Structure 1
Amino acid sequence: MRTRYPAAAVSTVLAATLATGGCTASAVGGGAASGTPSASTDCVRVVEENGRKTDECLPLAPERERVDLGTPVFSNPTEVTNPLHASSRVQQVIYDGHVDGKPFRTELTLLPDIKTVTVNGEQVRARTLQYVSFSDGRVKEVATDWFAQADDGSVWYLGEDVFNYENGVVENTGGTWRAGKSGPAAMIMPRDPKAGDVYRPENSPGTVFEEVTVKAVGQTVPGPYGPVKGAIRTTEINQDGTRENKVIAPGYGELTIDEPGPDLEAITLAVPTDVAPGPAPSELAALSAAVRAAHADATDATVAKARAAWDAYRAADRVPQLLAQQMDRDLDSLAAAVKARDAALVRGAALRVAQNDLDLHLRHEPLATVEAARLALWARQTALDSAARDTGAVAGDATSLELTWDRVKHDTDPARAARIDAALKALREAADRKDVQAAHQATDRLASAL
Structure 2
Amino acid sequence: MSLSARVAIAVTSSLLLVGCGSASEPSPPTGVDELVIPTPSLDPADFVEVVDNPWLPLTPASEWEYRATSSGEVATITVTVLDDTREVQGVTATAVREAVVTRGRPVEETTDWFAQDTDGNVWHVGEDGVWEAGVDGAEAGLAMPAQPRVGDGYRREHAEGVAEDRAQVVGLDGSASVPYGDLIDLLETEDSSPLEPGVVERRLYARGIGLVRAQTVSGGDELVELVAFREG
Q: Deviations over 1:235-259 (max 9, x none)?
A: 1112211111111112332211102
User: What are the ranges of 5 or more consecutive residues in structure 2 without an aligned counterpart?
Assistant: 8-15
So what's the TM-score if we normalise by structure 2?
0.78
SS at match of 2:191: strand
Q: Which sits farther off after the overlay, 71-80 or 149-158? A: 71-80
Quote how far apart the aligned CAs of 1:3 are.
5.7
Paired with 1:74 and 1:223, the residues of 2 have a C-alpha distance of: 38
State yes or no: 1:115 paired with 2:115.
Answer: no
Question: What's the counterpart of residue 91 of structure 1?
Answer: 62
Equivalent residue in structure 1 for 2:211, among 243, 254, 260: 254
Distance 1:65 1:90, change over 3 A: farther
Paired with 2:180 and 2:96, the residues of 1 have a C-alpha distance of: 24
Q: Which sits farther off after the overlay, 207-216 or 92-101? A: 92-101
Letter paired with 2:134:
G
Quote how far apart the aligned CAs of 1:99 are.
2.5
Distance 1:81 1:73, change over 3 A: farther
State yes or no: 1:240 paired with 2:205.
Answer: no
Distance 1:207 1:191, change over 3 A: same
User: What are the ranges of 5 or more consecutive residues in structure 1 without an aligned counterpart?
Assistant: 5-30, 43-60, 163-175, 273-366, 368-450
State yes or no: 1:265 paired with 2:224.
Answer: yes
Paired with 1:231 and 1:78, the residues of 2 have a C-alpha distance of: 26
Paired with 1:225 and 1:266, the residues of 2 have a C-alpha distance of: 8
State yes or no: 1:204 paired with 2:169.
Answer: no
Q: Deviations over 1:141-177 (max 9, x none)?
A: 2111111100111000110115xxxxxxxxxxxxx11
SS at match of 1:185: strand
Distance 1:206 1:66, change over 3 A: farther
Quote how far apart the aligned CAs of 1:202 are.
1.6
Question: What's the counterpart of residue 180 of structure 1?
Answer: 134
Quote how far apart the aligned CAs of 1:88 are.
4.5
8 Å contact kept, 1:82–1:88: no
Q: Which has the larger radius of gyration?
A: 1
Quote how far apart the aligned CAs of 1:223 are.
4.8
Relative contact order (C-alpha < 8 Å, sep 6+): which is higher?
Answer: 2
8 Å contact kept, 1:32–1:186: no
SS at match of 2:29: helix
Distance 1:32 1:104, change over 3 A: farther
**Count of residues paired in the alignment:** 208
So what's the TM-score if we normalise by structure 1?
0.42
Equivalent residue in structure 2 for 1:82, among 41, 50, 53: 53
In proportion to residue count, which structure has more helix? 1
SS at match of 1:2: helix
Q: Runs of 4 or more off by more than 6 Å in structure 1?
A: none
8 Å contact kept, 2:123–2:141: yes
Distance 1:32 1:63, change over 3 A: farther
Distance 1:264 1:240, change over 3 A: same
State yes or no: 1:228 paired with 2:231.
Answer: no
Distance 1:267 1:126, change over 3 A: same
8 Å contact kept, 2:85–2:94: yes
Paired with 1:225 and 1:101, the residues of 2 have a C-alpha distance of: 21
Quote how far apart the aligned CAs of 1:225 are.
4.3
SS at match of 1:130: strand
Equivalent residue in structure 2 for 1:153, among 91, 98, 120: 120
8 Å contact kept, 2:30–2:151: yes
Distance 1:226 1:159, change over 3 A: same
Paired with 1:100 and 1:208, the residues of 2 have a C-alpha distance of: 24
Paired with 2:208 and 2:171, the residues of 1 have a C-alpha distance of: 18
In proportion to residue count, which structure has more strand? 2
Question: What's the counterpart of residue 28 of structure 2?
Answer: 63
Question: What's the counterpart of residue 127 of structure 1?
Answer: 94
Paired with 1:88 and 1:213, the residues of 2 have a C-alpha distance of: 25
